[in-house]
């Protein structure tokens, strides 16, 4: 298969015709370079959006209460809606299938002291289900358990930054914290990809906090995640139904927007997904356009090259070159130039993107990079294009009668 003579012949042709080789190589390298940069920047935009929506689970729903803005069923407007434990039961029963994780929440800012160090932190009374809701990850110890809830245990799981604030380099695990005068044992330390704020929370058992700070079964809000098997539209419908049922239960006018507020991530996800889709289509469109321009460029050059070499090919045929050897020679040249140039363009593009790194974060371009398969795919497309671009004129050149080619001036 590997024919040294043939390759020597090709290297000679290419190196003796430097301008021609450089021109065709440049076209291809430039096309691949543009393609790589474009995809990289597109991916950078995507990364930015993904990061913006990374905090919390993507399928989370939060249910807050507020004040009514409309009178309804004889009730005045301005009435405040207070959730209680029976709301938890109600939601759980109505949406058993749709809900994956579910937790009521009581949230307060409290003074927290450990030995000489003290600070104010948001303390949340929650169920163990709250952990996946926030996408927090335990790095030491454990999160809360249902046994803690049952026993109204005075235990807490603290954020990584709380540990650093109060304990410095020491481990907080097993130590007792003084929270508003009551002693809690630290059972776990977590980190959270959502950022610094999310790593300064303290989680305590819901029952413990409710018993201490909320009379009459009151609670602040609910957090839940819906079944991830639901698609975006189903999830949005679920959120709407949940809102309607809660309004009914609390005698709120269906048109009242203030009293029952359900923040459904699915709606945001839907918008983001649509935005990403449009972005992807635009990138794909421009990318394909660039590739097509590159392909046309190679085709043009190959047609020109073969035309320019008609006489040479005629001489070769007169000296005994078979049509096959002519086609083979031109195509190997074409493929060789395309592959080398395409690879160089690819490398320049990849290194440029790597050099850019996060310097364009201001412009919403974060870590611009390309998936290897995209670029390898593009290079293969170009090589195939180079092959076809070489094949058609080569075939035609091989068909020309040598006498016609020899008379070509």
| Site residues, other proteins (CB under 8 A) | 4-5, 8-9, 12-13, 16-17, 311-312, 314-325, 398-399, 401-403, 406
What are the φ/ψ torsions at residue 216 (nearest 5 degrees)? 55, 50
Helix, strand, coil in percent for the chain, rounding step 5? 55, 20, 25
CB of 286 to other proteins, least distance (A): 39
Residue closer to other proteins (CB basis): 106 or 326? 326
How many helices (H) and strands (E) would you count in the chain? 13, 12
Residue closer to other proteins (CB basis): 139 or 322? 322
CB of 4 to other proteins, least distance (A): 8
C-alpha–C-alpha distance, residues 252 and 159, integer Å? 37
CB of 28 to other proteins, least distance (A): 23
Three-state helix/strand/coil letters over 185-230: EEEEEEECCCCCHHHHEEEEEHHHHHHHHCCCCEECEEEEEECCCC
> Do the beta carbons of residue 382 and residue 338 sit within 8 Å?
yes
CB of 10 to other proteins, least distance (A): 12
CB of 403 to other proteins, least distance (A): 4
C-alpha–C-alpha distance, residues 345 and 343, integer Å? 5
Residue closer to other proteins (CB basis): 255 or 324? 324
Burial (0-12, 13-18, 19+ Cβ within 10 Å), 188: buried
CB of 405 to other proteins, least distance (A): 9
Q: Count the alpha carbons within 13 Å of 85 in the hemisphere toward its beta carbon.
A: 10
CB of 52 to other proteins, least distance (A): 59
Residue closer to other proteins (CB basis): 315 or 374? 315
Q: Count the alpha carbons within 13 Å of 180 in the hemisphere toward its beta carbon.
A: 11
- C-alpha closest to that of 398 among 323, 332, 304: 323
CB of 333 to other proteins, least distance (A): 13
Residue closer to other proteins (CB basis): 13 or 379? 13
- C-alpha closest to that of 379 among 84, 147, 32: 32
Residue for token pair 């070489």:
390
DSSP string, 65-92: E-B-SS-BTTBPTTPBP-EEHHHHHHHH
β-pair type (155-159, 260-264) = unpaired
Residue closer to other proteins (CB basis): 214 or 316? 316
Residue closer to other proteins (CB basis): 120 or 399? 399
- C-alpha closest to that of 273 among 232, 229, 228, 224: 232
CB of 340 to other proteins, least distance (A): 20
CB of 302 to other proteins, least distance (A): 18
Residue closer to other proteins (CB basis): 18 or 362? 18
Residue closer to other proteins (CB basis): 378 or 400? 400
The separation between CA 326 and the C-alpha centre of its own chain, rounded to angstroms, equals: 49
Residue closer to other proteins (CB basis): 50 or 308? 308
């Amino acid at each position: 298969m590997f024919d040294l003579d043939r390759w020597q012949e090709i290297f000679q042709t290419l190196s003796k015709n430097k301008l021609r080789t450089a021109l065709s190589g440049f076209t291809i390298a430039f096309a691949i370079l543009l393609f790589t940069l474009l995809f990289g920047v597109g991916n950078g935009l995507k990364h930015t959006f993904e990061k913006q929506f990374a905090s919390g689970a993507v399928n989370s729903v939060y249910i807050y209460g507020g004040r009514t803005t409309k009178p309804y069923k004889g009730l005045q407007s301005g009435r405040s809606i207070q959730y209680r434990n029976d709301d938890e039961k109600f939601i759980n029963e109505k949406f058993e299938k749709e809900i994956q994780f579910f937790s009521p929440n009581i949230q307060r800012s409290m003074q927290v002291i450990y030995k000489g160090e003290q600070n104010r932190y948001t303390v949340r009374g929650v169920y163990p289900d709250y952990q996946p809701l926030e996408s927090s990850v335990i790095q030491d110890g454990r999160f809360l358990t249902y046994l803690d809830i049952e026993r109204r245990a005075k235990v807490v799981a603290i954020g990584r930054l709380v540990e650093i604030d109060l304990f410095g380099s020491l481990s907080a695990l097993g130590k007792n914290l003084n929270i508003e005068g009551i002693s809690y044992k630290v059972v776990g330390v977590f980190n959270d990809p959502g950022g610094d704020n999310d790593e300064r929370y303290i989680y305590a058992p819901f029952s413990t906090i409710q018993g201490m700070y909320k009379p009459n079964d009151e609670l602040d809000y609910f957090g839940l995640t819906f079944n991830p098997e639901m698609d975006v539209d189903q999830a949005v419908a679920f959120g709407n139904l949940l809102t309607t049922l809660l309004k009914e239960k609390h005698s709120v006018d269906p048109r009242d927007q203030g009293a029952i507020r359900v923040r459904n991530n699915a709606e945001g996800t839907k918008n983001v997904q649509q935005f990403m889709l449009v972005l992807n289509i635009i990138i794909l469109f421009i990318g394909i356009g660039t590739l097509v321009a590159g392909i046309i460029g190679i085709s043009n050059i190959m047609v020109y090259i073969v035309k320019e070499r008609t006489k040479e090919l005629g001489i070769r045929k007169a000296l005994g070159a078979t049509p096959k050897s002519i086609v083979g020679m031109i195509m190997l040249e074409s493929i060789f130039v395309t592959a080398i140039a395409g690879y160089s363009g690819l490398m320049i593009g990849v290194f440029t993107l790597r050099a850019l790194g996060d310097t364009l974060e201001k412009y919403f371009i974060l870590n611009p990079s390309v998936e290897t398969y995209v670029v390898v795919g593009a290079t293969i497309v170009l090589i195939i294009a180079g092959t076809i671009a070489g094949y058609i004129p080569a075939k035609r050149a091989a068909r020309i009668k040598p006498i016609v080619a020899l008379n070509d001036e």
